[in-house]
A and B are shown apart, each in its own frame.
Chain A
């Protein structure tokens, strides 16, 4: 009952309203004279320095869902859930090498989205459209998942109703506020709120990892309790260590997720908003501080085992909602007021990435669908306006996903999202290094990779469901005599690449036209203050000279 959680609810609501005010004020923070430009609204004026970028990108990549779902996975499956740690380690060196090039070429040409880059690099509106649609489709369920994070917290505080509308009312209100300040302040809102979010999360976690092991009898006891639980379970693939079957899955999932994460439009938005190359490079050595946090948060799953937490019932009869284990652990172990702070950290933690994601999806729609196909001569002010409205539509869509669909469905969609966004790797990531691939080859590769990925996900069964039961594809389905599994996304993107290469060779032999590269080798090293930067970042520039994007 919610009355038992009154203190928690008051603290939660207070902190939530505090950041909402900050969100509205953010429009005036470091703002230029004129917010009516996509660069200002959607990329914060491309002016963020080291600290802001650290909070913004960190707030963007480590979402409420991560903080709730990773420990939930550890609680349920053990070591396999720890993949999030290597995943967030390998990602930064990859970015250090790859995304600085994207930053440079985007800075030079005024690109706002990865599809803008592809459009120019490969001279193919079709390929750019595919990249844009892939990005939007992959991002939508990701936003919905942030709501799952808030919902887990609300559920634990007893804020639930009898019918669907009453149950979701708090989330609808929260998202309406979020939508309003994102509309007004653009990327500046999540950038400012991220300071509060991460400060709260750091405080909560530092307290949790010192205080909880002390209460629960030390780390040795915590691991022993987890070990005992997995020993007793009938599932052969759980345990506090990996076994022979799931090691390949573990490393391919870590690598595939890392590659996917930085192809997601919202991560690219965070990177493009930084001021110069140095800011990005320095951040790649500072951001792993969050990985340490994530690793410790993951272990909350084991603490929940040691504390004897029983997850709340799920949406369907007889199921449990394992996403509630961390909120329940806090509820049981912390004083009420501190549990309220922890819940606020998770709740606000959902708003930051949701805002950035909706901005990124809106930018994709504006640049690569609206401007490309609907209104070629759109002025920067019109672009900014379309983006603002699209960001509202995207959020309404995400809320609808949660209200009308089983949250499990969003989780499935997000699983698919990771696999499909990986299919943009050849065009976006490899495109930054080479133009060897033919544009048609990339399109065919994309289609084959996408089809194969969907088919493989459809084949994956879990104890509770026949299809889309996870991302671990049994290699025996390919005819190998083994019980090992592999991450679907890695296989799909490998096939995508192979097909793209074969088609490229064939088209080249047939001497098919391959279009004009709109970028020069030098563009990939351009830095802040480069004299050749084309207008687009210049507010007063003649909009007709906007680069063709």
Chain B
């Protein structure tokens, strides 16, 4: 998949490139609107990540270029200026999603994957984990064909996020940010993730041992597939 990263902060653009390249995306960078317009007019991209705070143009104008020359591309707006009107305007102009800065790159990746799933209408996204089956559409976990109803929404979110970044250790801060990210509150450094994981294990072990859910000592958790 080809990704165009339009971001005037060189170092952030560079980090995005490293991360997405590791996730097997092919990345191109540009740091201003003019260069971006040219690239959009010449090449075809699957994803275009646009920073709204470009020095020489309004990122929202780029969206119009994208609609003209790259109608198939999915646009993600990245912005520190997360003003509600910008958000609405961006989505109205056909952006597929938007991420306020600062964001976790894991979050970016999961948004990009969600867009891909929507785009290609991947309906049957079931996954076998040991003796459990995870259904990404129903957001359910089944054992022997029976849905485990004790698993809460939050617990499922946690499992889904770990599956999305399978075989990669996710740290507690990363997991917290995904789980509590939408809420603005004044807690930090809570150990609730551990409590959640403990509960998930307890609920699943009633049926079978979830060995695939690993604790990486001192670092965090991962799901091995």
Task: Tell whether A pairs with B.
Answer: no
**Which chain B residues have a beta carbon within 8 Å of chain A's beta carbons?**
none
